[in-house]
Amino acid sequence: EAEVAQSPRYKITEKSQAVAFWCDPISGHATLYWYRQILGQGPELLVQFQDESVVDDSQLPKDRFSAERLKGVDSTLKIQPAELGDSAMYLCASSLGSQGNYGYTFGSGTRLTVV
Amino acid sequence: KQEVTQIPAALSVPEGENLVLNCSFTDSAIYNLQWFRQDPGKGLTSLLLIQSSQREQTSGRLNASLDKSSGRSTLYIAASQPGDSATYLCAVSDSSYKLIFGSGTRLLVRP
């Protein structure tokens, strides 16, 4: 079964350092999402891409976070500088259609710890 | 603004029991609803997807229902097993086709 690939699985970084996460969606999935999940809470959307275009980044802290999907395939989420409050699970998801009619498939996530 | 609530927040049951997890949402204008399972420290595994025009979906021991007009969904797990222990998340797709999640129900099935 096709999967959404994410790396790294775990990342420990010091406060004020830069960190990057990578996501490779299921082949052919045009829509890609980055979610952040704080322990004990549900995931919250950071950014949504349709192909290489950003559809929604209203919840992305743009002073420190950036996301790109240059060729409309894989995507990178970057944080610079990292803060203690950024410690969370970062989840990538993809969907075949733009309307989610086929559901959403999530990757295994990247667990970030900022020390 | 769409809000999703899941009750109870935690549930502990003995093995073999049938159980129901509840999900409610404030805006009935959803496109679909999806139930996910999350094991500790892991990503999300999709369990069931219910389109807005559907009333329920079934997969094995799982059955999910959707009542759009009342803003409710339930996930029914039959004959629970210790391996069912996990957090169950409900999410609705809104008009911009992004998922809005509840905080989840942590389920423990005791042997």
* Nearest CA distance, A88 vs chain B (angstrom): 10
* Nearest CA distance, A107 vs chain B (angstrom): 6
* Nearest CA distance, A46 vs chain B (angstrom): 10
B49-100 confidence digits (pLDDT tens): 999 899 999 999 999 999 999 999 999 999 999 999 999 999 998 777 788 9
Does A110 have pLDDT greater than 80?
A: yes
* Nearest CA distance, A29 vs chain B (angstrom): 14
Does A22 have pLDDT greater than 70?
A: yes
Chain B residues touching A42 at Cβ < 8 A: 4, 89, 91, 101-104
Chain B residues interacting with chain A (CB cutoff of 8 angstroms)? 4, 31-32, 34, 36, 41-46, 49, 51, 89, 91, 93, 96-104
Does B44 have pLDDT greater than 70?
A: yes
Beta-carbon separation of B45 and A106 below 8 A:
yes
Chain A residues interacting with chain B (CB cutoff of 8 angstroms)? 6, 31, 33, 35, 40-45, 48, 55-56, 89, 91, 93, 95, 98-109, 111
State the CB neighbour count (10 A cutoff) for residue A28: 9
Omega of the bond leading into A81 within 30 degrees of 0 (cis) = yes
Q: Please give the pLDDT value at position B96.
A: 74
Beta-carbon separation of B31 and A100 below 8 A:
yes
Which of B98, B101, B103 is the mutation pick for testing A, counting most A CBs within 10 A? B98
Residue B3 near residue A72 (C-beta atoms within 8 A): no
Percent of chain A with pLDDT over 70: 96
Residue A8 near residue A113 (C-beta atoms within 8 A): no
A29-78 confidence digits (pLDDT tens): 989 999 999 999 999 999 999 999 999 999 999 999 999 998 889 999 99
Nearest by Cα to A33 from A95, A85, A96, A102: A95
Burial classification of residue A85, based on how many CB atoms lie within 10 Å of its CB (0-12 exposed, 13-18 middle, 19 or more buried): exposed
